[in-house]
Structure 1
Amino acid sequence: MRKLFGCRPAYWLGLCAITVIGAAGPAAYAADAYPNKAIKMVVPYPPGGPTDLVARGAGAAMAQIIGESIVVDNKSGASGMIGADQVARSAPDGYTILANASLHVINPHIYKKMTHDAFNDFVPITQLAAVPLVLVVPKDSPIKTVADLVAEAKRSQNGLNFGSAGTSSAQHLSGESFKKLAGIQMQHVPYKGSAPALTDLVGRQLDLMFDSMPSAMPFIASGQLRAIAVTTHKRVAALPDVPTVAESGFPGFDISTWYGLWAPKGTPDAIVEKLAATAKQALHEPKVAQQYATMGAEPVGSTPKEFAQYVASEGKKWAELVKQANVPLQ
């Protein structure tokens, strides 16, 4: 012991260095070795909806880059909260991640009680895409313009109904905001995702829908649905002849949705950074960029820090929209 404690300072510096390296070693090794098995990407909505389409496009390209399978697991229900709950309770090791829409930051302003904290139980990884919504009606609907929609809503004895991907979704809030702005009444019909709502819209069980472009575009392209307007402040390249709601008589109307990836709280920074970098690379792959463009989605690929800041600002924005639309707490 005397020899040990009597060693020169250089010895202690070396010993401390070894100790620090040893302490950091497991975390560094975990990040370097990640991934060594399949990654589960939970999508909290049914297959075929916009979140599913955006996630699958990115996930397939990410798997090629990262060298392990990325398996999409659809866990729909409760406005996306069932799937989000599953991820929040998962091990923070990077092998279970969440692909969700902007609804992730809207729910806290709609529901009095939630079994997870949308802001504090997750680590933001990256924003995958920004997406306009499009106002669509069945192909044989008499409604051909926004003005037609307002006139029909005022004339109809039973009122019009509109579908959405779920209560408090961007689709729902778009419809509620438009109702208030136009001074009309419409009945909201929530679904467990866009896909079943679009099926009923095509079958004329619904009158209209404000839907995310990735899920609506195939129906527009096939002629099953007619696009009336887009919800952003400017027209979109995928539908250049379709006017905006703002230029159709309602200036200031500007709503869009977005999609991103989250990991459970406690996931190592190195793994989060690796997933974000992989996603960014995947979103710049020509195949993914073309797929997103066809859907009307704009790839983003932000850093975890940038996405965290965006999530915080969007939470505040949607809180105001919920208030303006007079959506009651659930």
Structure 2
Amino acid sequence: MLTKKIKNTLICAVSACILSSSVIAADFPSKDIRLIVPWPAGGGADAISRKISNIAEQSLPKSIYVENISGAVTATGLMQMTRSRPDGHTIGVLTYDSVITLPRGKMVPGYSLEKMAPIARITREADAIVVSKHSGYNSFEELISAAKAKPNSVRVGVAPKGSGPYLAVRRLEKEINVKFNVITYPGSSSAEAEALLSGELDAAISSLGDFSGILSSGDAKGVVELSSEQNPSYPGVPPIKSLGYELETGSFILLAAPKNTPKDKISALETAFKTAFDSKEFQSWVTTIGVTPSWLGSTDVQAWIDELQSSTFKVMDDLNL
């Protein structure tokens, strides 16, 4: 039997812990939060990151500011994030290359997802094939017919080897039995957009959102989206499944903090971004750029990452990539 004095002591100790935890949560963030976007300013990942962080900071006592640190296929910025103090005041944006390309190729010494604590998945977006108005192609069928008639003649721009678009074009070649003249462009899709404008490329693969500017101007046209469902933002672009092919690929945006960031800080960040995600402002905006809002919280996102890596690496093994 515990004496009354011991019981009171235990109650006080527990109360102190609860109060201490509450004070920590209430004091966070104590300064502005740095959001590292590992791509140049102006791309799709940058725009989405800025939009949701602008809304998220409205529910926080401090601001969230975006810092673009590109290089090494997102590794430069993300490694800087992982070396930051794990106090919740520095977080980063992960995309396909961060989760698939870098771990698969072991391209950058010291880079590892194990040094990160996932916060949430924000969006998913399918890749698409976009053609330049200079190409003369008006449909996916015309593009494929030209590639079959003259192998290596149709110039298709994609991100470097190991990226989602690169994997997509190689899978497409194998499935349809064609051969493209594949040209890779490091960095964001803005380089591919410029190449489409100049006529340097006949087609390119990335998300429709990444090419929204040249699509709206009429300088390019989306001919197929590599998905199984119709994108409501682009009703004129058919999903590839409707044309009889099974090929789904695309990117996403995840948020992560340095490993060992306290759980209460992760929770506070997750709550702020979930509030922003659910807002009418974000939901309306994100669909106008052709991106699918797709939330996974901190308790589920790691399992999703593991499954994505497993399935994608298997496809790469099959293609000897």
Superposition TM-score, scaled by structure 1 size: 0.89
Residue in 2 that maps onto 1:102: 96
Residue in 1 that maps onto 2:40: 46
Alignment of 1:291-302 (within 5 A): 291-302=285-296
Query: Deviation string for 1:227-251 (max 9, x for gaps)?
Result: 11011012110111211223334x2
| Deviation of the 1:279 alpha carbon | 1.1
CA distance in 2, matches of 1:168, 1:31: 41
Segment of structure 1 superposing worse, 293-302 or 23-32:
23-32
CA distance 1:112–1:55, shift in 2 (3 Å): closer
Alignment of 1:20-99 (within 5 A): 20-22=14-16, 26-99=20-93
Whether the 8 Å contact between 1:146 and 1:248 is mirrored in structure 2 is: no
SS at match of 2:29: coil
Aligned residues: 318
Query: Is residue 189 of structure 2 the alignment partner of residue 194 of structure 1?
Result: yes
The correspondence for 1:146, drawn from 140, 143, 151, is 140
CA distance in 2, matches of 1:231, 1:155: 23
List alignment gaps of at least 5 residues for structure 1: 1-7
| Deviation of the 1:47 alpha carbon | 1.4
Query: Is residue 172 of structure 2 the alignment partner of residue 178 of structure 1?
Result: yes
Amino acid at match of 2:46: D
CA distance 1:131–1:157, shift in 2 (3 Å): closer
CA distance 1:229–1:63, shift in 2 (3 Å): same
Whether the 8 Å contact between 1:128 and 1:260 is mirrored in structure 2 is: yes
CA distance in 1, matches of 2:112, 2:310: 15
CA distance in 1, matches of 2:106, 2:299: 27
Whether the 8 Å contact between 2:185 and 2:191 is mirrored in structure 1 is: no
SS at match of 2:211: helix
CA distance 1:156–1:97, shift in 2 (3 Å): same
Residue in 2 that maps onto 1:260: 254
SS at match of 1:305: coil
SS at match of 2:209: helix
CA distance 1:144–1:154, shift in 2 (3 Å): same
CA distance in 1, matches of 2:129, 2:66: 28
Segment of structure 1 superposing worse, 315-324 or 218-227:
315-324
Residue in 1 that maps onto 2:238: 243
Residue in 1 that maps onto 2:228: 233
SS at match of 1:123: strand
The correspondence for 2:218, drawn from 210, 220, 223, is 223
| Deviation of the 1:25 alpha carbon | 5.5
Query: Is residue 205 of structure 2 the alignment partner of residue 210 of structure 1?
Result: yes
SS at match of 1:59: helix
CA distance 1:24–1:102, shift in 2 (3 Å): farther
Amino acid at match of 1:289: Q
Amino acid at match of 1:221: S
Superposition TM-score, scaled by structure 2 size: 0.91
| Deviation of the 1:218 alpha carbon | 2.4
List alignment gaps of at least 5 residues for structure 2: none
| Deviation of the 1:183 alpha carbon | 2.0
CA distance in 2, matches of 1:218, 1:252: 28
| Deviation of the 1:103 alpha carbon | 2.2
SS at match of 1:299: strand
SS at match of 1:193: coil
CA distance in 1, matches of 2:120, 2:148: 43
SS at match of 1:128: strand
Amino acid at match of 2:249: I
The correspondence for 1:115, drawn from 110, 117, 139, is 110
SS at match of 1:67: coil
Whether the 8 Å contact between 1:100 and 1:261 is mirrored in structure 2 is: yes
| Matched-pair identity in % | 22
CA distance 1:113–1:103, shift in 2 (3 Å): closer
Whether the 8 Å contact between 2:134 and 2:202 is mirrored in structure 1 is: no
SS at match of 2:39: coil
